[in-house]
Amino acid sequence: MSQQLGGQPIIILRQGATRSRGEEAQTNNFAAARAVAAAVQSTLGPIGMDKMLIDGMGDITITNDGVTILKEMDIEHPAAKMMVEIAKTQDAEVGDGTTTAVIIAGELLKNAEGLLAQKVHPTSIAEGYRMAAAKALVLLDGFAITVKPTDTAMLKKIAETALTGKNSEVAKDHLCDIIVKAVTFVIDTDGTADLAHINVEKKVGGSVDDTALIEGMVIDKERAHPNMPKSVKDAKVLLLNAALEFKKTEVNAKINISSLGRAQAFLDGEEQMVHAMVDKVIKSKANVVFCQKGIDDVAQHYLTKAGILAIRRVKKSDIENLARATGATIVNNVDTITAKDLGTAGLVEEKTVSDDEMIYVSKCKNPKAVSIIVRGGTEHVVDELERAIHDALMVVSVVVAGKKIVAGGGAPETELSLRLREYAASVGGRGQLAIEAFASAMEIIPRTLAENAGLDPIDMLVALRAAHEAGKKTYGLDVYSGKPVDMLKAGVVEPLRVKTQAISSAAEAAVMILRIDDVIASSKASGPAGGMPPGGMGGMGGMPPGMGDY
């Protein structure tokens, strides 16, 4: 980049740096962002298609989950990366609607391009989009429906909508039942459900129908010793955050042993220390021990003799979930164990699942942490099923916390489109053009649903608009019959927060990309050290060639 000044060009950017400005910069950014939206557009809806992604190592991912597709794609363009951020935010906040958010952002930019061609200033468009997004959130809240967290029938419909279009559809009823039960179990007193307390374990083998909910915890571990009991009924569970092994001194110490007898006495002393620790565990009447740290051979021997099932090196998160499931208190010091610290479980057993040993802690009374074992015929099926279950768990927990839902099938977007056009007329001025562009961008969702189902998008949009003009606010597109249908009656419902998050993050990203009029890219660094010249670091002048080899 150079600037002509009095006949002398002044170069201010490093050689190799590139700059695009004005219309060129905007066109490039819009094209990149819309390309990302186009990449996931065909996955939207119950009859959406899947993508096969192959990474640099040759590993295959088959999915129609928007955020997974965008994370796996090797995207370099900065504006395209901003679209990926929308999907990541949507996934982190509400778990579903990632494809919707990206498609809306792409359409907002497409419509902005049309306004820019009419010489509307980007700032005017950005302001109009912000006003439209704020109004859309108010409108959405106005026609949202309140749901009680105890309404399991409605929660199942929400889970079903999240699973529809995924490969898991074959066992939809079974999975919805598991998902709603799991979330219901872990609801805290403040009415929220933290998904960290639902442990999802994947195991290849069996079929999707074999996916099961365990009312307790499943730990991917095996018994500390093969002679320990394989199953314990009416278990009294002790959770230890302390090692059952000989304590080494904290300072470096040298012990000189002068005779053979003394060496044996020293070893016996070690054993007695461990024996005393295990005795405290036995006296507590615990018959199952989960230890976050190590259990040495001597301790294993004594625990086995006492008929105690022990598991060592259990993850901190698993120990915390076990405490919620069994009602046990985590003990940090062996000396302070009491009978009150123990939890209970109807059955603790070691099971072999797909050639791996796992510990099942089941039949817990009122467990506040549960596990879902995900099964499927192949690794790709299990992976996609886990993604679908994650989405469904998220949306159900969002409804439990937020208590509001909207109809699906493009119904809220069609309603928003009509109401925002009315709002635009009341605003007037240049803002009106931008709000109208925002309103028409909303229709990309029903349009895409129709396209992906092989229906005529224009006919479907006209039919949907007619239904909404007649006051049928919850009418959306039934992709199977090709007609507008009451989505509430059809059981196609989504959390309000999925829609509000999708619209607000899409609008923010679109405005941010819209306001960029200059893109300056530095030249790529050569070499791993950020452009170290060949022959060594600067200041080492005079080093002869080949000296770096010594």
Q: What is the pLDDT along the chain (550 residues), one digit of tens a residue?
A: 555 555 677 777 777 777 777 788 888 888 999 999 999 999 998 888 888 988 888 888 888 888 888 888 888 888 899 899 999 999 888 888 899 999 999 999 999 999 998 988 999 999 999 999 999 999 999 989 998 888 889 999 999 888 887 766 677 888 999 999 999 988 888 778 888 899 998 888 888 888 899 988 999 899 899 999 998 999 999 999 988 877 655 556 666 666 666 665 655 666 777 888 888 888 888 899 999 988 888 888 888 999 999 999 999 999 999 999 999 999 998 888 888 889 999 999 998 887 888 999 998 888 889 999 998 888 888 888 898 899 899 999 999 888 899 998 999 999 999 999 999 999 888 889 999 999 999 999 999 999 999 999 999 999 999 999 999 999 999 988 989 999 999 989 999 999 999 999 999 999 999 888 888 777 665 444 444 444 444 444 444 444 444 3
Asked, for residue 62, whether it belongs to a domain, the answer is yes
Asked, for residue 531, whether it belongs to a domain, the answer is no
Whether residues 249 and 343 fall in one domain: yes
Whether residues 220 and 362 fall in one domain: yes
Place of tokens 């951020």: 85
**Following DSSP, what letter does each residue of 249-313 receive, concatenated?**
PSS-------SHHHHHHHHHHHHHHHHHHHHHHHHTT-SEEEESS-B-HHHHHHHHHTT-EEE-S
Indicate if the alpha-carbon torsion angle 28, 30, 33, 35 is positive or negative: negative
- Alpha carbon 474 to its chain centroid, in Å, reads 29
Contacts of 217 by beta carbon, 8 Å cutoff, 6+ apart: 199, 318, 321, 322, 325, 361, 367, 369, 370, 371
Asked, for residue 532, whether it belongs to a domain, the answer is no
- What torsion, rounded to 10 degrees, do the Cα atoms 508, 510, 516, 522 define? 90
DSSP state of 196: G
CB 128 within 8 A of CB 526: no
Q: Return the H-helix or E-strand segment holding 433.
A: helix 429-442
Phi, psi of 201 (to 5 degrees): -110, 130
First to last CA, the chain: 42
Helix runs in 118-206, H state only: 122-142, 152-163, 172-186
Q: What is the CATH number of the domain that holds 281?
A: 3.50.7.10
Whether residues 141 and 267 fall in one domain: no
Asked, for residue 524, whether it belongs to a domain, the answer is no
Q: What is the CATH number of the domain that holds 200?
A: 3.30.260.10
Q: Find the domain containing 278 and state its range.
A: 216-253+260-366
Query: How far is the C-alpha of 183 from the C-alpha of 149, rounded, in Å?
Result: 10
Whether residues 426 and 491 fall in one domain: yes
Whether residues 317 and 418 fall in one domain: no
Q: What is the CATH number of the domain that holds 421?
A: 1.10.560.10
**Residue 547, pLDDT score:** 43
Please choose, from the candidates 56, 51, 82, the residue with its C-alpha nearest in 3D space to the C-alpha of residue 68: 51
Contacts of 113 by beta carbon, 8 Å cutoff, 6+ apart: 26, 27, 30
Residue ending a domain, among 352, 378, 400, is: 400
Whether residues 325 and 205 fall in one domain: no
Whether residues 209 and 305 fall in one domain: no
State the SS3 of 478-536.
ECCCCEEEEHHHHCCEEEHHHHHHHHHHHHHHHHHHHCCCEEEECCCCCCCCCCCCCCC
**Residue 254, pLDDT score:** 65
Asked, for residue 182, whether it belongs to a domain, the answer is yes
| b/e map 388-411, b = 16+ CB within 10 Å | bbbbbbbbbbbbbbbbbbbbbbbb
**Residue 262, pLDDT score:** 61
**Residue 465, pLDDT score:** 93
Asked, for residue 414, whether it belongs to a domain, the answer is yes
Active site members: 65, 98-99, 391
Asked, for residue 6, whether it belongs to a domain, the answer is no
Whether residues 221 and 210 fall in one domain: no
Whether residues 492 and 505 fall in one domain: yes
Asked, for residue 471, whether it belongs to a domain, the answer is yes
Whether residues 198 and 266 fall in one domain: no
For 502, other C-beta atoms within 10 Å of its C-beta total: 29
Number of domains in the chain: 3
Whether residues 337 and 351 fall in one domain: yes
Indicate if the alpha-carbon torsion angle 410, 412, 415, 419 is positive or negative: negative
Query: How far is the C-alpha of 372 from the C-alpha of 217, rounded, in Å?
Result: 9
Indicate if the alpha-carbon torsion angle 520, 523, 524, 528 is positive or negative: negative
Whether residues 135 and 201 fall in one domain: no
